[in-house]
Amino acid sequence: MSLRDLPKLELHLHLEGAAPPTFIRGLAKEKSIDISGVFREDGSYAFRDFVHFLSVYEAATSVLKTPEDYARLVTAVLEESAAQGVIYAETFVSPDFCGGSDVGAWREYLLAMQEAAARAEARDGIILRGIVTCIRHFGPEKARASALCAAETVGDFITGFGIAGDEGRGALRDFTWSFDLAREAGLRLTAHAGEWGGPQSVRDALDVLRVERIGHGVRAIEDLALVDRLAEDGVVLEVCPGSNVMLGLYPRWDRHPIQRLRERGVKVTVSTDDPPFFHTTMTREYEELARAFGWGAEDFLEISRNALDAAFCDGDTRDKIAEKLKDHPQ
């Protein structure tokens, strides 16, 4: 069994965070923008810790200035995802970076991204959906503008709403207006929690924002009553083990709680978060999980089924993906 060839679903992927460094460098050169501080000498992204990562991320993103740039980004990202065996992906997209939350501009960015995704689907079969994401450290006011953009464009492509950014800033309750609006517009909800925040942040995401999935959520392991609640309620975690290890949340892969969460009944999925930043790919995640916990084809199929059940897509799309999973000889 080649882990690269296994069909994979990825639910937690930041679009700009998936940009290959060569792509960002190329665009910076084309536009004569100096972002030299963004890279190390070996060409990889340079950052010291999570908060520094967020600022490097935003600096790298500053070269993406037009809908056409975003179309090229979607093409580059999906090409790489398809090469890793990904058949379905959901990506976080932020109006803050795409037209500054102006609904008219946002529509243009979205159209360009959707067209690029349709071309990738026609070429490689990979299906992409978008989750509009507000950015916690940009504050609740900007989040409201993002939620309005999301509500205006909910449809075949935009199917979800979420929150990313610095978990250490502000409180989730400051974002309830945005999440209520998104829910009423028919968007599915997820929130980053339980990565830098402890178990209480996961409870807040569930009780205050009323999300159905949690981005990361791994620190729920520090509170077994919460773990049991996640298991009983079928809350799906978008776990990004390589990101957690890279950012120092856990010292080694075999100390990551993904297996303990799973053993206690929590539905986990596997994603890369910001793959080139964290020197990972979906194949590498699978390889490390196989090495650390002895996971094999059956385990990965269970992970894919969890992701399929929790995917923010319509029934027809889900059926199509299910067929692809079934067709593949494990």
Closest residue to Zn ion, judged by C-beta, is 273
User: Residue 62 phi/psi, 5° resolution?
Assistant: -65, -15
Task: Say which residue the tokens 């610095």 belong to.
Answer: 166
Residue number with CB closer to ligand HPA (67 or 197): 197
**Of the listed 195, 212, 238, 285, which one is catalytic?**
195
Give how far Cα 250 sits from Cα of 253, 294, 305, Å.
7, 18, 26
Question: Least distance from C-beta 14 to Zn ion, angstroms?
Answer: 6
Give yes or no for residue 273 binding Zn ion (CB under 5 A).
Answer: yes
- Residue 57 interaction partner, one of ligand HPA, Zn ion, none, beta carbon < 5-8 Å per kind: ligand HPA
- Restricting to residues 175-234, which ones interact with ligand HPA according to CB under 6 A? 192
- The contact mask relative to ligand HPA for 249-278 (x = CB under 6 A, - = no) is ------------------------xx----
Task: Say which residue the tokens 């969890």 belong to.
Answer: 306
List 45, 47, 57, 161, residue binding ligand HPA (CB under 6 A): 57
Question: Least distance from C-beta 304 to ligand HPA, angstroms?
Answer: 22
Q: Pick from 129, 103, 116: which is nearest to 68 by CA?
A: 116
Q: Which residues contact 96 (CB under 8 A, 6 or more apart)?
A: 134, 135, 138, 142, 146
- Tokens matching residue 205: 């995401």
- The contact mask relative to ligand HPA for 65-104 (x = CB under 6 A, - = no) is ----------------------------------------
What is the DSSP code string of 202-265?
HHHHHHTS--SEEEE-GGGGG-HHHHHHHHHHTPEEEE-HHHHHHTTSSSSGGG-THHHHHHTT
Question: Least distance from C-beta 14 to ligand HPA, angstroms?
Answer: 4
- Tokens matching residue 86: 């990904």
With beta carbons less than 8 A apart as the criterion, state whether 133 and 175 touch. Answer: no
Active site residue 238: no
Stretch that binds Zn ion, among 133-141, 266-274, 301-309, 317-325 (CB under 5 A): 266-274
Residue number with CB closer to ligand HPA (7 or 275): 275
Q: How many residues bind ligand HPA (CB under 6 A)?
A: 8
* Residues labelled catalytic: 195
